Amino acid sequence: MEVFVRWRSQRWAAAVVALALVAGACSPGATPSASDSAAATVPESTATSPTDSAVTYAAAVPLAADAQAPCSGLAYQPGAKPRIAYMPPATEFPYYMAIGEGIKALAATAGVDSFMLAPQSGADINGQMGMIQDVISQKVDAIILSTHDEGAAAPLVKRAVAQGIAVIIVNSDILDFPSPVQGVVGYRQRAGTAKLGEYAIQAAAGKGFKVGIIEGQPGYHSTERVGGFLDAIKAAAAFEVVASVVGGWNVDGGNLAGTDLLQANPDVTMMFAANDYMIQGAAKAAKALGRTDLILYGNDGDTNSGLEPIAAGEITATVDTTPFAMGETALQVTLDCLSGTFAGGYVETPVQIVDATNVTAILCNPDRLYPKPQKTYTCP
């Protein structure tokens, strides 16, 4: 699922070098990288929300100085039942619905009035901007926002913050939103796919591979995800990238890209795609071409396009970015901001590598997945 965040991303790239953040968990048997071993453990927040919820999260990393809005001086009255809007870029993306399910689950236990408002299409930028204006006029206490056009959203975010509404950006790792916000919640995309690249090297056990890459549409997310994987596999002399094509972030695009890539480069034996939809499409292309020898890697941890195909032996592994847990964390951060116990900043959410050895343990807990698995899985 993609949020095309591009605004001044070089600041984040520079900041990452100076920050030691929590690393996502490796899959069973995977060895941590040198950078993972060197990373300091960040203590969990012990703050409580206005409703005393129990979700904890890694301590926040400061945003850029000109991108941080304070959690003080909000219109929210302590003790009141918070009213919070979740505003993803579109309802067409299951990934954002999974984040919403996490928000909904915590809201139910925390006694929070939350609702989701989004256009059907991710291309409907004007529709989302109109909805943000409507929500501001409703005088909600907070907005959990993800947008495909942060430049268009920035003036509205500025208006919301000026009116005392807390704004938390979700599914992002950018420290510099173009208008100050109270917090940013999401996983480090480059670090996640770098972990997958390290896993691929270990799984290869010295064997050589011709690698094909399926990118998303040009933008920050594609650059980070592809870049992380490429950064990692540079350490393996036996891995050679022979082709890189655009797959459009969807199954059909991945199918077309995978077909073209394999026909033009029949020596490719490994493919990495920047999301699970595209690698599922590439898997369909491989099957149609009679290629049963391919190693296939994705990113996101989508239930039906990533996790279940791994269980079925159709895809090799993916980066599970735990969107349900991300939603819980985003709401907890929002509640802590309303209570004044969150100082602001970027909160990193975990990732893990999922393959055939651990996928069933995830699929057997459908209450934390969206969409639900199409089959019933028994926990090991």
- Tens-place pLDDT, residues 276-309: 999 999 999 999 999 999 999 999 999 999 999 9
Give domain status of residue 72, yes or no.
Answer: yes
- Tens-place pLDDT, residues 321-363: 999 999 999 999 999 999 999 999 999 999 999 999 999 999 9
State percent of the chain over pLDDT 90: 79
| 256 and 182 together in one domain | no
| 223 and 172 together in one domain | no
Q: Which of 247, 316, 255 is nearest to 284 (CA)?
A: 255
* DSSP track, 216-236: -SSSHHHHHHHHHHHHHHTT-
Q: How far apart are CA 165 and CA 49, in angstroms?
A: 16
Q: How far apart are CA 198 and CA 233, in angstroms?
A: 7
Q: How far apart are CA 280 and CA 321, in angstroms?
A: 17
- Tens-place pLDDT, residues 204-236: 999 999 999 999 988 888 999 999 999 999 989
Give domain status of residue 33, yes or no.
Answer: no
> Between 8 and 173, whose confidence is greater?
173
Give domain status of residue 170, yes or no.
Answer: yes
**What is residue 6's three-state secondary structure?**
coil
| 141 and 165 together in one domain | yes
> Are 162 and 75 a contacting pair, CB within 8 Å?
no
> Are 114 and 107 a contacting pair, CB within 8 Å?
yes
| 306 and 269 together in one domain | yes
| 66 and 173 together in one domain | yes
Integer Rg of the chain from CA: 20
| 175 and 290 together in one domain | no
Contacts of 290 (CB under 8 A, 6+ apart): none
Give domain status of residue 193, yes or no.
Answer: yes
What backbone torsions phi and psi does residue 16 show, to the nearest 5 degrees?
-60, -35
Give domain status of residue 27, yes or no.
Answer: no
Residue 52: pLDDT band with limits 50, 70, 90: low
Number of structural domains (the chain) is 2
Note the pTM of the prediction, 2 decimals. Answer: 0.82
| 160 and 107 together in one domain | yes
CATH code of the domain in which 266 resides: 3.40.50.2300
* Range of the structural domain that residue 278 is part of: 189-320+355-368
| 312 and 327 together in one domain | no
| 180 and 127 together in one domain | yes
| 157 and 195 together in one domain | no
> Are 248 and 219 a contacting pair, CB within 8 Å?
no
| 176 and 93 together in one domain | yes
Q: How far apart are CA 144 and CA 164, in angstroms?
A: 14
- Tens-place pLDDT, residues 108-125: 999 999 999 999 988 899
Contacts of range 105-111, beta carbons closer than 8 Å, 24 or more positions apart = 105/324, 105/327, 105/328, 105/367, 106/53, 106/55, 106/327, 106/328, 106/331, 106/332, 107/331, 109/53, 110/49, 110/51, 110/52, 110/53, 110/331, 110/335, 111/51, 111/81
